[in-house]
């Protein structure tokens, strides 16, 4: 597929967002290296937020909205603060200021600033930046996927038995989630004997690991649009697939995701899962 802008200024939007993400990265890196900051909880004891999450989201939304009038925003901390998710045809920035807040709080350097751009409800661009390791992933529809400017490719592996798979349990610890996670884990690790299991504690890092071919597949239930919007296009532009865990088409608002290097592996992985349903967030 060749890049075709559907908005005449699309490239300007993306270039400016990259500038802001790098600025936000300095803020995150400074906070990461500083003595611990105040940590609050949101929906539960396992759902964390810090002043840095809020400061980064403010920087990104203020910067983008000053420059691009009429653009909309779906940001993790704004929604936590009561903002309604409005999913319209307008250019919409889907923002996770720090994906992997638990890692950030525990000073585990697997975190990402995520900025996705949707126009007419189609994800057109994704930026995922780990300011600690200084890895910036970027994809635009039809332009390929890159890490620090170099092209990346998902793995071509079709077989679970030859895969490193990421099954991530997020902050929702209900009995249904427990059953889904434990049953799926048993199937891929014990019955199917995959090479190994990893989970990096950030949906975005999990997905770029698939995009760059380090891991072969990833599944998570209970994620939000801001966790997966930006990295989803990085996976598909790197040649991988992103679907619903059941195998049906991916819906960024559905609160679940499966991605894999190949469609064959994605299908086999889907068949191993104990599925969970969620109310879509929009």
Site for ligand IPD, residues 5 to 24, rule: CB under 6 A: none
281 CB burial (10 A radius; 0-12, 13-18, 19+): middle
Nearby residues of 219 by Cβ (< 8 Å), 6 or more positions away: 165, 166, 167, 168, 184, 245, 257, 258, 269, 273
If the CB atoms of residues 96 and 237 are measured against Ca ion, the closer one turns out to be: 96
Give yes or no for residue 163 binding ligand IPD (CB under 6 A).
no
**Residue selected from 54, 163, 184, 202 as contacting ligand IPD according to rule CB under 6 A:** 202
User: Of 237, 233, 197, whose CA–CA distance to 216 is shortest?
Assistant: 197
170 contact choice in ligand IPD, Ca ion, none (CB below 5 to 8 Å, kind-dependent) = ligand IPD
Asked if 149 and 40 count as a contact pair (C-beta separation under 8 A), the reply is no
Residues with a known catalytic role:
76, 96, 98-99, 101, 227
Stretch that binds ligand IPD, among 5-13, 95-103, 136-144, 260-268 (CB under 6 A): 95-103
If the CB atoms of residues 36 and 89 are measured against ligand IPD, the closer one turns out to be: 36
Stretch that binds ligand IPD, among 93-101, 123-131, 229-237, 266-274 (CB under 6 A): 93-101
Q: How far apart are CA 196 and CA 47, in angstroms?
A: 27
First to last CA, the chain: 28
Stretch that binds ligand IPD, among 22-30, 165-173, 186-194, 210-218 (CB under 6 A): 165-173
Asked if 103 and 110 count as a contact pair (C-beta separation under 8 A), the reply is yes
**Residue selected from 99, 216, 237, 268 as contacting ligand IPD according to rule CB under 6 A:** 99
If the CB atoms of residues 203 and 233 are measured against ligand IPD, the closer one turns out to be: 203
Q: How far apart are CA 204 and CA 114, in angstroms?
A: 7
Q: How far apart are CA 113 and CA 25, in angstroms?
A: 7
Give yes or no for residue 80 binding ligand IPD (CB under 6 A).
no
> Look-up: residue for tokens 């490239």?
11
* Other Cβ atoms closer than 10 A to 94: 28
If the CB atoms of residues 92 and 168 are measured against ligand IPD, the closer one turns out to be: 168
Q: Which residues form the interface with Ca ion (CB under 5 A)? A: 96, 99, 227
Binding-residue pattern over the window 100 to 119 for ligand IPD, x denoting contact by CB under 6 A: xxx-----------------
The DSSP call for residue 161 is: G
Give yes or no for residue 57 binding ligand IPD (CB under 6 A).
no
Asked if 223 and 255 count as a contact pair (C-beta separation under 8 A), the reply is yes
Stretch that binds ligand IPD, among 17-25, 155-163, 217-225, 229-237 (CB under 6 A): 217-225
Residues of the shown chain interacting with ligand IPD in the complex, contacts defined by CB under 6 A: 76, 96, 99-102, 168, 170-171, 201-203, 220, 222-223, 227
């Amino acid at each position: 597929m060749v890049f075709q802008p559907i908005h005449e200024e699309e490239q300007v939007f993306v270039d400016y967002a990259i500038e802001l993400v790098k600025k936000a990265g300095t803020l995150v890196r400074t906070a990461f290296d500083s003595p611990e900051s105040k940590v609050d909880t949101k929906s539960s004891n396992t759902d964390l937020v810090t002043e840095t999450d809020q400061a980064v989201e403010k920087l990104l939304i203020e910067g983008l909205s000053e420059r691009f009038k009429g653009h909309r925003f779906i940001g993790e901390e704004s929604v936590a603060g009561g903002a309604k998710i409005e999913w319209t045809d307008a250019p919409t920035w889907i923002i996770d200021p720090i994906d992997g807040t638990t890692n950030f709080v525990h000073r585990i350097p697997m975190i990402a600033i995520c900025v996705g751009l949707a126009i007419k409800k189609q994800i057109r661009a994704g930026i995922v930046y780990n300011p600690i390791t200084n890895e910036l992933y970027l994809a635009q529809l039809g332009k390929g996927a890159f890490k620090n400017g170099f092209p990346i490719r998902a793995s071509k592996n079709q077989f679970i038995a030859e895969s490193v798979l990421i099954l991530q349990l997020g902050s929702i610890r209900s009995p249904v989630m427990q059953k889904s996670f434990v049953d799926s884990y048993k199937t891929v690790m014990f019955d199917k004997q995959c090479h190994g299991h990893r989970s990096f504690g950030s949906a975005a890092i999990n997905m770029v690991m698939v995009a760059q071919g380090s891991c072969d597949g990833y599944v998570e239930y209970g994620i939000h649009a801001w966790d997966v919007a930006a990295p989803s296009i990085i996976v598909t532009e790197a040649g991988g697939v992103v679907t619903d865990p059941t195998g049906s088409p991916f819906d960024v608002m559905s609160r679940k995701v499966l991605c894999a290097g190949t469609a064959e592996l994605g299908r086999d992985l889907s068949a191993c899962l104990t599925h969970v349903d969620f109310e879509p967030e929009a």
